[in-house]
Structure 1
Amino acid sequence: MLADGSFAQPVKAIGSLVTKDMSPVEAFRSIALSCLVQLQRNEAGAIFEKNPEYVHQARVAIRRLRSAFNLFSPVLAPAFVEDFSPRWRELARGLGSARDWDVFLTETLAPLEEAFPDEDDLVVLRAKGEASKDEAQISVGTTLTQKAYSQLLLTFSAALFSVKRATIDDSKKLSGLSLRKFARRRLQKRAAMVDGLVSEHGKMNAEHRHELRIAFKKLRYALDFFTPILPPKRLTVYQNSLTTIQDLLGTLNDQTTASRLIGKLHPKGEPESLIRGWIAGRTQLLIKALSSELSRFVAIRNPWH
C-alpha cells in the first residue's frame, strides 16, 4: 500500500537474473527469490482490491515457482521438494477459482452479451457469475491472511537460503554441471515432451490439449529462466511461436472451464443451445489456428543447440 492509501500497480514476473557463472542451485535460488518478490508485491492488492490482475499475477508467481521446482529437481534435495512443492500447489488452488470466474465473465460471457443483448439467460448467468466471483475473491483474502500462508513464506525462505545448504543434494551428479550444460539438458527434456505430444496433435480432444498446454507452459517457463545464458538471435523467433501456442492453448482451456462454470450456474442445469454453440464454434476456430501454429513451431530450430 502506498502512502496515500492506494495500492501499487500489479507486478508482473521479474526477469530472470541468472548468469552463466552460477551453479544450477544458485540459479534456482535466484529464480525462487524473484517469484517470492512478485507474489508479495501483489499480495495486498489481491487481498483488498477488486482488480483481478493482482490475483492473476500472484498466481503467475506461484506457477513460476512450481515450474522451477520441477525444472531444477535433479539438483534439489528430495526432502526439500517433498516438503514445499505440495504446499505451493495447495496455495495455487486456493487462488485459482477467482481467476477462473474473472476470465469467464470477461472473455466468454461479455462477448455473448454484446452479440445477444436481449438474451434473458445471459442476465441470469451474469448475476450468478458476479456473485460467485465475489465469493472467490473473499476466499483469496482469507487464504492470504491465514497463519499457514505466513508460515509457508518464512519456512520456505529459511530453507532456501539455509547455511546448511538444505536445497542441495550433493550426491546427485547433475549438481556439478555448469549452468549452461544443465540448461541444455533440461530444455531438451522439455522440448522432447512437447514434440511427443505435438506428434499426436491429431487427437486434439480436451484431455490432450490440457497435456499439451502444461508441456508448453513448462517449456516456456524454462526458456524464460534461462534466457540470459541462451543465444539471443534464435531465441526470439522460438519464443514468439511458443507464446502464440501457449496463448491459443490457454484460450482453449478457458472454453472448457467456461462450460464447467456455466454448468454450475445455469438454472436448468445445462447451458442453452445458443451458449453451447458459441463455445463449440469458438473452440473449433481456435483448434484450427493451433494446428497451423504447431506446424510452424516444429520447423523452428531449438535455440539452445
Structure 2
Amino acid sequence: MPTETELKLELMADAEERLLASGLLGEPTSRKELRSIYFDTPDYRLRKAGFSLRIRTSGASQMQTVKASGAASALFARDEWEMPITGDRPVLDYTTPLKTDLDITAEALLAQFSVEVLRRTWNVEEGDTRIEVALDDGQIIAGDRRLPLRELELELKGGGANGLFVFARKIDEIAPFRFGVRSKAERGYSLREELRPAIKSEPILLDRHMTAASSFQAMAEACFRHFRLNEDLFLQNRDASSLHQARIALRRLRSAFSIYKAMVPDAESIRLKDELKWLANTLGKARDIDVLMAKHGSGDLHERLETARSEAYERVIEEVHSSRARALALDFNKWLRCGEYLELPETAELRNTPAAEFALQALDRQRRKLKKTGRCLAAIGDEQRHEARKAAKKLRYACEFFTSLFSGARARKRYGKFIGRMEKLQDRLGLLNDLVMAPTVYEAAGLTDIAATQNGINEEAKEKLITVSQRALDKLIEAKRFWRE
C-alpha cells in the first residue's frame, strides 16, 4: 500500500481569507460539505488500541473508514479500511481488525463527536511536483463543546516532495501557519476530556530492521510533535508545565541530532541545530524563573519573580509567533524529509545500517561518555559537572528513543531498573545545577539586588549534592545494560 506524503497546515487568524484573496490557488476544482461522525466504545477501546472509525456523509453518499495509527498501524499491511455503507450506524465485519483482533461489535459503538466542514480542493503544480490542496473550514462538535477548524492539507500526487515545501513557503508568505500534528480524531477526543496542562513525550515505535536514517526521521518527527502539542497548550493556558514539556521536546530533538551526528554532517543540519538552540534558550529563560518561583511561594520576592516571569512568557509568545520560528519549523521539516544528508555518499553505509545495530553502538557510546565525564564529580569544576549532567540527559533520551528495539522480557526488566537509576541521577544533578545557577538566574531576571544578597553558593549543600550525585552515577554505571545480552 503506497504511503501518502502530505503536509497538514493549521492556518493562523485571518490567514484563510488572505490566502483565498491572493490568487495563489485560483478557483477550486470542487466544493463539498462533509459531515463525519466518529464512533468508539464508552471506554474508548478503539482509541486505546490505536484505531479510529468514522462515517462520512457527502451529499447522498456515505463512507465508513477505519484507520490505524501508532502501534496499531505497525501490525498490519494496511492502515486504512474503507467501505460504502447505508445509514448512520457502523458496519463491522471480518475485513477490519476491529472485529478480528479487538472483538468489537457494532452494537458496542457510540457516536463520540462529529466534524462538519466545507472542503474546497485545488490541483496545483510546483515545478515537477503535482499537489492536491484541500482546505477544510468548519468545526468539531462534542456535546455542547465546539472547536473551530481551519486546516490546509497539501498532498503529494506526483514528482518530488521538495515541491511541497516550496509551495508551503509561498503560502506562509501570504497566510502564516503552524504545522499540524494532530488528526481530526485526536482533536475530537480532546474535546471530550478536560484540557491537559501539558503532554509528555509519547513512545517511539521503531522496527529492528528499519534503517538508521528511518529511525532518525521517526525520532525527530516524534520530538517535533511533542513540541507542537505543548506549544499550542502553552499559547492557550500559559502554564509552566506546558512550557517545560515544550522545552524538553526541543532538548530531545537536539539530542537526536547529537546521537546521529555522524549521519547528519551537512551544513543545513548544523544551522538547524543552532536555530533549535536559540528557541530552546528562549524557553529556558522563562523556565529558570519558574524553578525559582517554586522555591519562593510567597512574599515580595515571589511577586517580583512573578513580574519577571510574565515578561519572560511574553517574550516566549512573541518568539514562537515570529517569522523566524515559523521558518525554523518549515526548514526543519523540509530538511528532515528531503535534506542533503539523505544523499551523501560518505554516509550511505551508516544511513542503511539496521536501526537495532545502530542503537547498540549509540547507547554504548553515550554510556561511555557519561562514565568518562562523571568519573570524579568532586574533583572537577562546575562547568565539567554541567557536561556530565548533559551527558546523563543524552543517555536518558537515547534509552527512551531506542527502547522499542529491545522488547524481550529480560530487556524490559533491565530497562525499568536502568531508567529508575537514571531518574535518581538526573534528579540529583538537577538540584545541583539549580543550586549553582541560582545567582545567574536572579541576575538574568533583573534581580541583581537579590543575587548580591545570596552570599555565594551554599558550599555545604553543594558538597552533599555532589556526593549523592556521584553515588547515583556509580550505581547507574554498575547497572546491567538492557540493550546487551
TM-score normalised by the shorter chain: which range applies?
Answer: 0.7 to 0.9
**Aligned partner (choices 35, 55, 67) of residue 255 of structure 2:** 67
| Residues 10 and 45, structure 1, Cα contact 8 Å, conserved in 2 | yes
**Aligned partner (choices 204, 208, 217) of residue 16 of structure 1:** 204
Query: Using the alignment, how far apart are the partners of 1:245 and 1:58 within structure 2?
Result: 22
Structure 1 residue 36 corresponds to structure 2 residue 199: no
Are residues 214 and 269 of structure 1, via their aligned partners in 2, closer, same or farther at CA, if it must alter by over 3 Å? closer
| Residues 223 and 253, structure 2, Cα contact 8 Å, conserved in 1 | yes
Q: 1:67: how far off?
A: 0.5
| Residues 378 and 467, structure 2, Cα contact 8 Å, conserved in 1 | no
Structure 1 residue 238 corresponds to structure 2 residue 418: yes
Q: 1:291: how far off?
A: 2.5
| Residues 211 and 354, structure 2, Cα contact 8 Å, conserved in 1 | yes
Q: Tell me whether 27-36 or 72-81 shows the greater mean CA deviation.
A: 72-81
Pairs aligned (count)? 289
| Higher share of residues assigned strand | 2
| Higher share of residues assigned helix | 1
Query: Using the alignment, how far apart are the partners of 2:412 and 2:361 within structure 1?
Result: 18
| Cα deviation code 1:5-33 (max 9, x no counterpart) | 99543111121122212111101111111
**Aligned partner (choices 140, 145, 170) of residue 321 of structure 2:** 145
| Residues 80 and 167, structure 1, Cα contact 8 Å, conserved in 2 | no
Are residues 168 and 229 of structure 1, via their aligned partners in 2, closer, same or farther at CA, if it must alter by over 3 Å? farther
Q: 1:66: how far off?
A: 0.5
| Cα deviation code 1:50-76 (max 9, x no counterpart) | 311111111111111110011112222
| Residues 266 and 341, structure 2, Cα contact 8 Å, conserved in 1 | no
| Residues 75 and 169, structure 1, Cα contact 8 Å, conserved in 2 | no
Structure 2 runs not aligned, ≥5 long: 1-139, 149-193
Q: 1:204: how far off?
A: 5.0
Which runs of structure 2 are paired with 1:62-211 in the superposition (5 Å)? 62-106=250-294, 108-110=295-297, 123-162=299-338, 166-172=341-347, 173-211=349-387
| Cα deviation code 1:176-226 (max 9, x no counterpart) | 321111111111111111111222223254222201100111111111110
Query: Using the alignment, how far apart are the partners of 1:272 and 1:226 within structure 2?
Result: 43
Q: 1:165: how far off?
A: 6.4
Query: Using the alignment, how far apart are the partners of 1:295 and 1:128 within structure 2?
Result: 40
Query: Using the alignment, how far apart are the partners of 1:295 and 1:161 within structure 2?
Result: 40
Query: Using the alignment, how far apart are the partners of 1:293 and 1:225 within structure 2?
Result: 22
Q: Tell me whether 54-63 or 287-296 shows the greater mean CA deviation.
A: 287-296
Query: Using the alignment, how far apart are the partners of 1:92 and 1:272 within structure 2?
Result: 27
**Partner residue in 1 for 2:400:** 224
Are residues 268 and 68 of structure 1, via their aligned partners in 2, closer, same or farther at CA, if it must alter by over 3 Å? closer
SS in 2 for 1:3: strand
The amino acid that maps onto 1:287 is: I
Give the CA RMSD over aligned residues.
2.4
The amino acid that maps onto 2:372 is: G
Query: Using the alignment, how far apart are the partners of 2:459 and 2:342 within structure 1?
Result: 46
Are residues 268 and 74 of structure 1, via their aligned partners in 2, closer, same or farther at CA, if it must alter by over 3 Å? closer
Are residues 268 and 221 of structure 1, via their aligned partners in 2, closer, same or farther at CA, if it must alter by over 3 Å? closer
Structure 1 runs not aligned, ≥5 long: 114-122
Q: Tell me whether 5-14 or 95-104 shows the greater mean CA deviation.
A: 5-14
**Partner residue in 1 for 2:476:** 297
Query: Using the alignment, how far apart are the partners of 1:280 and 1:7 within structure 2?
Result: 43
The amino acid that maps onto 2:204 is: S
Q: 1:132: how far off?
A: 0.9
**Aligned partner (choices 230, 239, 242) of residue 51 of structure 1:** 239
The amino acid that maps onto 2:481 is: N
Are residues 168 and 71 of structure 1, via their aligned partners in 2, closer, same or farther at CA, if it must alter by over 3 Å? farther
Q: Tell me whether 257-266 or 96-105 shows the greater mean CA deviation.
A: 257-266
**Partner residue in 1 for 2:447:** 265
Q: 1:289: how far off?
A: 2.0
The structure, 1 or 2, with the larger RCO (C-alpha pairs under 8 Å, 6+ apart) is 1
Query: Using the alignment, how far apart are the partners of 2:388 and 2:395 within structure 1?
Result: 11
Q: 1:270: how far off?
A: 0.7
Percent identical pairs in the alignment equals 25
Query: Using the alignment, how far apart are the partners of 1:234 and 1:159 within structure 2?
Result: 36
| Residues 69 and 85, structure 1, Cα contact 8 Å, conserved in 2 | yes
SS in 2 for 1:41: helix
Query: Using the alignment, how far apart are the partners of 2:454 and 2:351 within structure 1?
Result: 56
| Residues 75 and 168, structure 1, Cα contact 8 Å, conserved in 2 | no
Query: Using the alignment, how far apart are the partners of 2:250 and 2:317 within structure 1?
Result: 16
